[in-house]
Structure 1
Amino acid sequence: MAQEEILVTTEDQAYELIESYLSGHQLPEHISFDGWPNLSFKLEGENFEQSLTPSVMKGFIEMQSQINRAFALAKFGSPDPRRLSKEDRDELEIKVEVKKGSSILTVDMDGFLTKLSQELVGKMSAQEIMITVISAGLIWGGVSIFRRYIDNRKEVRLAEINKDGDKEHLKTLQTMSQEETKRVEIMSTFIKRQPLLDNMDRMAYDAKSEMVKSFVKADRAVIDGVTLDSEMARELTTNARRRSTEVRIDGVYRIEEVNNTDPEAFKVKVRNVRTDQRLTCLVQDIFLDESGNKEALQQAEWERKPVHLSINAKHVDGDIKSAVILYVKDVEEKPE
């Protein structure tokens, strides 16, 4: 029988709980955090003696902005931070501590995780809430997933650049151990199956890009054991595409109108049962080609029955500009 409560103090503990859950075991009913997650950065250079420059602060401001968007998505079904109350913003505020003697920074996001766990009550089962909050801790404050970001940017840049000298400099960058690589691969597969976590992962990616970009002003930045010099930080963030402009808004929807009069596009008007959000969606071509899917949408409209839709949308500050239906399932079926 699972313990009723557990205190998570390390990243290893977080991964052990994830692996236990994925193996079919029950998680504790209550989980709290103490001293984790808290990303740690050490910045070296003449401007970084117990102080922060505006450019470095910009990186942390981006992280706060993305955390606000992530919480808005969990609360409202839309990544629109303008809908958050002042109380929400105050409770979500990350804390950046500058240690005495040098610019060693720690980022505490306990407020976000506590607020997220409270918001998900009634929207998920107790087990789903626990695994979502632990995973969110790893996405935003996990050392291994920050290293995964750096490793990803390294591989992208190696594929983009032509100068052998630049490649050699990048190739010297070592990030993840074999054990970390294995854990992160498992975690990445799990994240992709969970729309809220998948969205957070993209938002955290953009926050990390802005943070690493801000480290260009330092002679060296040490991120929990990974050392980046100014040139490396600049190289890693060159041409970094923003990922958070796309968002998964999977959920239970009612089909309000099916429009197949345009031979170039099959359009569907849908309404989210929980949030009442209305969208006009295109339907993915490959999805239409699969047997019965077009009919399933039309049937759902005729019978006025809710269906589970997977929707990929593009947004600007939470306003949905375009949406594409990826697949449809009966609500009785548990989405994969």
Structure 2
Amino acid sequence: MQESEQQTLTIRSEADVYELLKQLEEDAIGDISRYRICFDGWPTVKMRFVGEEFNSTITPAIMEAFLKLQKGIYQTYALAVYADKGHRLTPEEKKSLELIIKVSEGSSIFDDEKIDWNKIVNSLIQKMPSKYLLIIILTGLGLYFGKGFYDAYLLNKQTEQEQVLKQELALEDKKIINKLIERVPELAEIKSDSEATHRTILKSASEAEHFEYQDIKLSGEEAHKLSIKPRAPLKEAKDIRLDGLYRIINVNTELESGFKVKVRNEVTGIEYNAELQDDTFDKQFKHAIESGTFEKRPVELNINAKQKGIDGEIYNIVIIKAVLR
């Protein structure tokens, strides 16, 4: 297809990326080879550390942050092109994706001016016009170069009306990412890695007089606060079922409350210590368990249990039905 026949999709901002990702998720864009992606002023890495400690030098913390960001770019590319984020890139591929650090009097600066995203993305689309490739590349760019990491900071600096709008936009972006993760599960790791990278970058700036990151100025203290991983909300225990085919490992009948059974799931190999359901447990179900023990035959069990929301621990495991197989 001639370039003149291609439709140009221009990306000038993070918002443009999420709009394009939304169209890709909704299958509103058909044949990828019919399009040419044009990055105009985005993405960019804008990062500047200012302070005595950063005077014409690269601290170990900055180097750690730099390497983590560079690794994230490599892994996103590898996942898009080779379907494996751990795939080893060629020296030429690495060079085309290389970030640089500049040092000057009083500051250290990250720079991505060597990366030609137009050339990289469009040459890949020509070779392999796939939605999978484009979704991963754009999602990676949105997560690594976007501003979602300091939404909480911005909310504290804005009016109530601006806060509501910002929350709505942030929620919409998260919905798009979550839908894409359902479609391409590997993106979950890219999302997690990008969040960890942002925390490392912010932590590296905690001693700075001030820190400029993607067009926002932060003090070292503010950067430190943003670097702390938010605690996951406590979740209540939930009821679960562990139904399946089991082997009876042993039975303990010397308990006043009835008897306990140690079972092993035939599929997963996971073992559980379970109790039988009080006095209402049917005699034929008990007989099935006893027969399964002596005859070494599998037993189909219906099992109720609870699972803690904090660490996923499973407890209160109770067998409510047993059928010999």
| TM-score, normalization by structure 1 | 0.53
Residue 202 of structure 2: aligned partner: 212
Residue type of the partner of 1:203?
Answer: D
Partners of 1:221 and 1:10 in 2: CA distance? 22
Residue type of the partner of 1:233?
Answer: A
Residue 167 of structure 2: aligned partner: 181
Partners of 1:239 and 1:131 in 2: CA distance? 27
Partners of 1:99 and 1:35 in 2: CA distance? 24
Partners of 1:24 and 1:171 in 2: CA distance? 33
Q: How does 1:175-324 map to 2 (within 5 A)?
A: 178-194=164-180, 195-238=185-228, 263-265=263-265, 267=267
Contact 1:37-1:110 at 8 Å conserved across structures: no
Residue type of the partner of 1:147?
Answer: Y
Would you say 1:26 and 2:29 are equivalent positions?
yes
Contact 1:39-1:142 at 8 Å conserved across structures: no
Identity of aligned residues (%): 22
Kindly state the Cα deviation for residue 65 of structure 1 after the two structures are TM-superposed. 1.9
CA 1:142 to 1:85, structure 2 compared with 1: closer, same or farther past 3 Å? same
Aligned to 1:71, which of 70, 77, 83? 77
CA 1:171 to 1:117, structure 2 compared with 1: closer, same or farther past 3 Å? closer
Residue type of the partner of 1:134?
Answer: L
Kindly state the Cα deviation for residue 218 of structure 1 after the two structures are TM-superposed. 0.9
SS at match of 2:58: coil
Contact 1:117-1:129 at 8 Å conserved across structures: no
User: 1:180-222 deviations in whole A, cap 9, x for unaligned?
Assistant: 4333322212222332333211111111111111111212212
Contact 2:45-2:145 at 8 Å conserved across structures: yes
Kindly state the Cα deviation for residue 49 of structure 1 after the two structures are TM-superposed. 4.3
User: 1:46-102 deviations in whole A, cap 9, x for unaligned?
Assistant: 233454333212211111123333334444544425x33333333332344568885
Structure of larger gyration radius? 2
Residue type of the partner of 2:145?
Answer: G
Contact 2:80-2:132 at 8 Å conserved across structures: no
Residue 254 of structure 2: aligned partner: none
Would you say 1:87 and 2:73 are equivalent positions?
no
Residue 141 of structure 1: aligned partner: 145
CA 1:103 to 1:86, structure 2 compared with 1: closer, same or farther past 3 Å? closer
Contact 2:65-2:204 at 8 Å conserved across structures: yes
CA 1:105 to 1:177, structure 2 compared with 1: closer, same or farther past 3 Å? farther
Structure 1 stretch displaced more, 92-101 or 219-228: 92-101
Contact 1:113-1:133 at 8 Å conserved across structures: no
Contact 1:113-1:137 at 8 Å conserved across structures: no
Contact 1:67-1:112 at 8 Å conserved across structures: no
Residue type of the partner of 2:201?
Answer: M
Partners of 2:131 and 2:80 in 1: CA distance? 16
Kindly state the Cα deviation for residue 231 of structure 1 after the two structures are TM-superposed. 2.6
Aligned to 1:7, which of 7, 10, 17? 10
SS at match of 1:30: strand
SS at match of 2:53: coil
Structure 1 stretch displaced more, 63-72 or 32-41: 63-72
Would you say 1:53 and 2:59 are equivalent positions?
yes
Partners of 1:65 and 1:45 in 2: CA distance? 26
Kindly state the Cα deviation for residue 128 of structure 1 after the two structures are TM-superposed. 4.7
Partners of 1:84 and 1:266 in 2: CA distance? 41
SS at match of 1:39: coil
Kindly state the Cα deviation for residue 225 of structure 1 after the two structures are TM-superposed. 4.2
User: 1:84-136 deviations in whole A, cap 9, x for unaligned?
Assistant: 3333333332344568885454445846786577667887x644544443332
CA RMSD in angstroms, aligned pairs only:
4.2
- Give unmatched runs, 5+ long, in structure 1: 155-169, 242-258, 269-280, 283-336
SS at match of 1:47: helix
Count of paired positions: 230
Kindly state the Cα deviation for residue 31 of structure 1 after the two structures are TM-superposed. 0.5
